[in-house]
Amino acid sequence: MEDNISSVVGKSNVENLKRSIFSKPGKDIPAGIVVFLVALPLCLGIALASGAPLISGLISGIIGGIVIGAISQSDVSVSGPAASLTAVVLVAIQNLERFEIFLLALVLGGLIQLALGLMKAGLIADYLPTSIIKGLLAAIGLILIISQIPYAMGVELGKSRMMDYSQNFFTGAQQKVTFIFKSMAPGAITLSLISMGVLVFWDKTFMRKLKLVPPFLVVVILGVILNQFFKYVIPSLYLDGIHLVNIPKIEGFASFVTFPDFTAIGNIQVWTYAFTIALIASIASLLAIEAADNLDPHKRRSPPNRELVAQGIGNTLAGLVGGIPITSVIVRSSVNIETGAETKLSTIIHGTLLLVSVLFLSSVINLIPLASLAVLLLVVGYKLASVTIFKSMYLKGWPQFLPFVVTTLSILVTDVLIGVMIGTAVSIFFLLRGNFYNPFYIESTSTPKGKVYRLELSNEVSFLNKPAIKSTLWNLPKNSQIIIDATFATYIEPDVIEILHDFQDTFARENDIEVIMTGLRESYAAKNQEEVMDVNTEVTNVLATPQDILDYLKDGNQRYVDGNLVSRRLRNKELMDFIKEAPLAAVVNSIDMREPLNMLLNTGIGDLIPLRAAGNLMSDFLIYSTEIACRKQGARLILLMGNSGNSFISEALECYLAGKESYLYPLLGPALASRAISPEQLVKENLNKLVDEITLWNLAESKRRIMDQNQYIREQVSLGQLGLCSAFFDRETGNIEFSALVKV
């Protein structure tokens, strides 16, 4: 066991910790003091809420700061009594009847946590969505604000707790508000306003130059001084009794430590609560360190398995000496980060100060007004739940915003764990919804034989995608054709493969649907890197005529404009498999146009033969090359494509209008010589419009030259075996306007 612990903890890491822990004492010491001042009343309040002796909260705070702080590798997280477990502890103590028996359950729970850490169960933290973490932080911020307002006003709501995540803060809200206004303390309100003013204007005055003195610490000291001033000068504002921190007096070792009752080891309830504590404390701690890392300005990552080990040791020790459950705590961690902590030294200092205060400084600590501490937490709460955070999450869209809001509201009306579970469920819903709609892409093409559909499966297809795939296939019309392409799928769930075969063998046959499958393996292993198996059936070219091909290219461009591109991912070794069939078209576009034709027309690999003509004017040799593309390689469509804003024609036209010589004149010479562009147009029309008009004229001229100069192309066009047309690509919209096929 000791070897396992050493392997997790890591001796070299401990040595590095000893060297780096004192690297920023100027920031860590003041931060540790402020965290101590905030943690002190929280420890007492959580113990009170848990139905445990008040001293047990301080014991857990001390262990969380010193022991867990030393073992954990989190630089900014602070551990202490677990507010998320107050309800569990309260019920456990009542059902087990004795606090000593509950301590045994805590010891066992700590050992279970330790085992979870050694088994590396902390990886669950890596799967928590950012929206859930931010929702958790926002909820904690709102809870801080709600719970601290009474203290800032000097109101004590019965047995109020400084922080209780399990309490529904909306319960009895009207009665609480009425009571607040009737029992507000003027002195607390005065201190709160002054303290808030210090915190708000600190960075806007000369005080920002006091780098070694954090504003939080100044607020606490100022609160003590002002309250003592009120005592002697303005008695009506003086705060005492329930408005001040109250540490119980320690009279001896026996009053400080309580030992567990090991005789109850056979009690099944003890083990039930042990597992409950271990599970909730582990999840709460992982959530907290993830949230703390999110707030850390340096974005350092806390090892989750190491954290479980540290928490397990801490809870075991807490159970042995009379504490209550410990977790990493978001509130104290937030304060720690806000006050400038850089290393875990601040955490250890806060734990040490808790120990010293319990033993020696109770009379001094008891002078601190709760109103001053409340203002600190109000500021922290606002930073966690600011309007800016809600706006930023809203701008990310509903899949991010809705889980964020649901998590926040659920935590407010239930508790941390239930709220996180509800928010996670909403997040999973959006994940499943995304999987439902994104397991494949389907496109359709109209041919004389009817509709031809192509369904391309995505990289991984799981059982979650079954409904979408089945719904799509079973809704195909009769007498159609479907090409199911699994070429790019690295994993397909067996259930999905069975659906594909059921469709092919039964539904498709009964409804006269022709099915062509390619790239589908009969079985897939996880992370399967095998070659794609050869299939007996190949995708046949269903585009029979030049007009079919032209319609296919029109549809492809529309899909490009709409953003519905088919994936064309290929490995080099597979390229030859996709260029065995004859190409669809030879596309002659301008050298100026560098946009990828396959994307603009949404075609497959090898479907197009690209040729280039400067300014879209065909030369004799380029016409001859186009003939070879059709005669030798089998292209059945010649597409002459121009584009808006042709830079070559634009430069030539600018030089012509300015009376300058240019080697680009041949690109616009034929159009000007034909008088297609009048002198008045050259003077009055916009340059960009003239450039596009010349491009269109050059396309028409190129079609004429091809038909006049090439006998083979002319004959094939007249027979309907070959098509010739032009197209104009609008760079602003992505849309391509196609001409009709040339007729002889």
* Residue 44: predicted pLDDT: 76
> Look-up: residue for tokens 């995708």?
539
Q: What pLDDT does residue 694 have?
A: 92
Final residue belonging to a domain, choices 378, 398, 426: 426
Question: Is residue 163's pLDDT more than 70?
Answer: no
pLDDT value of residue 637: 95
Q: For residue 171, is it within any domain?
A: no
Q: Tell me which of 432-441, 491-500, 686-695 is least confident.
A: 432-441
- CA 190, distance to chain mean position in Å, is 43
Whether residues 568 and 641 fall in one domain: yes
> pLDDT category, 472, cuts 50, 70, 90?
confident
What is the distance between the alpha carbons of residues 348 and 10, in angstroms, rounded to a whole number?
A: 19
Give the containing element (helix H, strand E) for 482: strand 481-485
481 within some domain: yes
Q: What is the pLDDT of residue 531?
A: 40
The alpha carbon dihedral of 147, 151, 154, 157 has a sign of: positive
The pLDDT assigned to 177 comes to 67
Q: Is residue 539 part of a domain?
A: no
> Are 456 and 570 found together in one domain?
no
Q: In what order do the strands lie in the sheet with 440-447?
A: 440-447, 450-457, 481-485, 514-518
User: Which domain range does residue 570 map to?
Assistant: 546-738
**479 and 590 part of one domain:** no
Please give the residue that has the higher pLDDT: either 144 or 734.
Answer: 734
What is the per-residue pLDDT across 46-75, written as a single tens digit (0 to 9) for each?
786 677 887 888 899 999 999 999 999 899
- 564: confidence class by pLDDT, cuts 50, 70, 90: low
CA 95 – CA 79 distance, rounded (Å): 27
Distances (CA, A) of 498 to 436, 456, 477, 490, 501: 18, 17, 21, 17, 5
Whether residues 77 and 51 fall in one domain? yes
For residues 40 and 245, the answer to whether their CB atoms sit within 8 Å is: yes
Domains in the chain, number: 3
Sign for the pseudo-dihedral over CA of 457, 459, 465, 468: negative
The pLDDT of residue 16 is 42
- 245, 265, 292, 697, 744 from 373: Cα distances, Å: 9, 41, 21, 80, 91
Q: Do residue 471 and residue 372 come from a single domain?
A: no
Note whether 396 and 251 are same-domain residues: yes
Question: Is 317 part of any domain?
Answer: yes
Read off the CATH number of the domain in which 462 is found: 3.30.750.24
Residue 431 within any structural domain of the chain: no
Express each pLDDT in 367-413 by its tens digit.
888 888 888 778 877 887 889 989 988 988 888 899 999 988 987 88
Q: Which of 23, 646, 105 is nearest to 341 (CA)?
A: 23
pLDDT(14) > 80: no
As a whole number of angstroms, the distance between CA 642 and CA 622 comes to 16
Backbone angles phi, psi at 226, to 5 degrees: -65, -40
Quickly list H helices, 183-329.
Answer: 186-201, 215-233, 253-256, 268-295, 304-321
Top mean-pLDDT range of 157-166, 216-225, 524-533, 686-695? 686-695
**527 within some domain:** no
pLDDT category, 446, cuts 50, 70, 90? low
Cα→Cα distances 294→34, 273, 334, Å: 21, 31, 10
Residue 676: burial class (beta carbons within 10 Å; 0-12, 13-18, 19+): middle
- Do residue 626 and residue 687 come from a single domain? yes
- Residues β-bridged to residue 637: 723
Does this model's pTM top 0.75? My answer is no
- Tell me the CATH number at 734: 3.40.1050.10
Helix, strand, coil share of the chain (percent; to 5):
60, 10, 30
Do 449 and 584 fall into the same domain? no
Lowest mean pLDDT among 252-256, 477-481, 524-528, 540-544: 524-528
Beta-strand (E) ranges in 326-480? 326-329, 440-447, 450-457, 460-461
Residues 636-695 have pLDDT tens digits of 999 999 999 999 999 999 998 888 989 998 998 898 888 888 777 787 788 889 999 999
Do 496 and 392 belong together in one domain? no
Domain contains 1: no
- Identify which of 342, 362, 449 has the alpha carbon closest to the alpha carbon of residue 27: 342
Domain presence at residue 540: no
Q: Enter the tokens of residue 257.
A: 């430590």
For the cut 90, the answer to whether the pLDDT of residue 15 exceeds it is: no
Residues 375 and 468 in one domain: no
The mean-pLDDT minimum among 158-167, 338-347, 492-501, 541-550 falls in 158-167
Residues 454 and 378 in one domain: no
Q: Among 518, 538, 560, which residue terminates a domain? A: 518
Verify that 623 and 644 share a domain, yes or no.
Answer: yes
